[in-house]
Amino acid sequence: MDYFIQIVTDLLPGLNGLPQWLVIPSIMFLFGALIFTGIAIYSLIILWFERKIAAHMQDRLGPMEVGGWHGWLQTVADAVKLLLKEDIIPAVADRKLFKLAPYIVFLAAFAVFAALPFSDKIIGSELNIGIFYILSVSSVGVVGILMAGWGSNNKWALFGSMRSVAQFVSYEIPIGLSILVVVMSVGSLSMRDIVMAQDGGIFNWMIWQNAPFNFIAFLILFIAGTAETNRVPFDIPEAESELVAGFHVEYSGMRFSIFFLAEYANMLAVGIIASTLFLGGWQGITGASSAPGIGLIWMLLKGFLIVLVMIWFRWTLPRLRVDQLMYVCWKVLVPISFFNMVGAGIWIGLSS
């Protein structure tokens, strides 16, 4: 943030004239707006990517018309359409909850970005408990989903949100346990420290450390992260063939698009968290570059790659059943991550 304040005050000297109590909030606002636009633009791009990848995996072409080359403007057109659509609120819905829910879901996804290190310098807030903050803030989203399901006054939506809550609460645990492995080997909760500990090229990345333990932790984080973002094969809260669309069945227009945005923001967040923790963060294959732009590009590239694998999952796999989802979490991921953590602890203790 300090770096960002520096840049902004350098670019806009007029800001110095403002009273001090106004400068910081306005710059924070500016940063927030930047992140928001970034997420929106990224969502449009990744959505287009997802459609094209899905189409080609299925021997189709996907969008080809809007905007000329391979329909690159299709998602923009769809976004415009969604925003212009009539916003329908069911007559018997709990109007306040119904209206508020998408914003809370998005807020949770958005707040995570405050502590994500996009590069050496670009970081919203350099918390010394960064990863802890991310874990706690991201679990607020489930409240929004529950509000959406309850507020819609629709039985299918209620089913969806009930499933979603169970899923969220369960999958927090393997995520926490696998993050602990990294925290143990670095010895810090700060995101910057974690990235700095992976300095010096691809072989120093956290994923290769501590023999198999970190690699397993990475896989668990990735699987649980997919579940947290409600993606196939863990998309049971919205399972369209069972619950029609789950918790957002009654939403339309802009509110629906905010849910959509939150899902894609969450995907990017999972990608960035995973790459920060295990894939060297903003550092390139050969090590950190001094130019700030390069770091950002590396970071986004890695996040993107993980999101692409999630997309690949989605267009390949069927969906789990709700009890099997719990089975995978409590009987597979939790024990493995627990033993993995213990093993990593012993390994670290022996090697140090």
Contact letters for other proteins, residues 298-317 (x by CB under 8 A): --------------xx-xxx
Cα 129 to Cα 115, 117, 154, 221: the distances in Å are: 9, 13, 40, 19
Report yes or no: 171 and 153 within 8 Å, Cβ to Cβ: no
Contact call for residues 348 and 184 (beta carbons, < 8 A): yes
| Residue 82 burial (CB count, 10 A) | 17
Regarding 342 and contact with other proteins (CB under 8 A), the answer is no
Contact 227, 70 (CB under 8 A): no
> Applying CB under 8 A, does 235 fall inside the site for other proteins?
yes
322 contacts other proteins (rule: CB under 8 A):
yes
Of 94, 126, 193, 242, the residue at the interface with other proteins (CB under 8 A) is 242
The whole-angstrom separation of Cα 146 and Cα 346 is 40
92 binding other proteins? (CB under 8 A): no
Q: Is 224 in the site for other proteins (CB under 8 A)?
A: no
Residue identified by tokens 């590069």 is 119
| Residue whose CB is less far from other proteins, 196 or 308 | 308
Question: Which of 195, 207, 232, 306 is close enough to bind other proteins by CB under 8 A?
Answer: 232
Does 96 interact with other proteins (rule: CB under 8 A)?
A: no
Non-local CB neighbours of 299 within 8 Å, separated by 6+ positions = 117, 118, 119, 272, 275, 276, 281, 282
Which stretch, 11-19, 87-95, 240-248, 278-286, contacts other proteins (CB under 8 A)? 240-248
Figure out which of the listed residues 321, 339, 342, 346 binds other proteins, where binding follows CB under 8 A. 321
Smallest distance from the beta carbon of 41 to other proteins, in angstroms?
Answer: 25
Give the binding-site size for other proteins (rule: CB under 8 A). Answer: 36
At a CB cut-off of 8 Å and minimum separation 6, what does 165 contact?
A: 142, 145, 146
Residue closer to other proteins (CB basis): 77 or 244: 244
The 18-57 contact track toward other proteins, x by CB under 8 A, reads: -----------------------------------xxxxx
64: contact with other proteins by CB under 8 A: yes
Contact call for residue 61 and other proteins (CB under 8 A): yes
244, 254, 326, 348: residue in contact with other proteins (rule CB under 8 A): 244
Minimum gap (Å) between residue 70 Cβ and other proteins: 12
Helix (H) or strand (E) holding 261: helix 253-278
Window of 35-43, 152-160, 168-176, 341-349 that interacts with other proteins by CB under 8 A: 152-160
User: Exactly one of 24, 240, 285, 301 binds other proteins (CB under 8 A); which one?
Assistant: 240
Residue 326 is a binding residue for other proteins (CB under 8 A): no
What are the DSSP calls for 11-76, one per residue? H-GGGGGS-HHHHHHHHHHHHHHHHHHHHHHHHHHHHHHHHHHHHHHTT-----STTSGGGTTHHH
Which of 190-200 are b and which e, b meaning 16 or more Cβ less than 10 Å from the residue's Cβ?
A: bbbebbbbbee
Amino acid at position 332, single letter: V
Question: In the complex, which residues of this chain contact other proteins (CB under 8 A)?
Answer: 53-61, 64, 155-156, 159, 232-233, 235-236, 239-244, 312-313, 315-324, 332
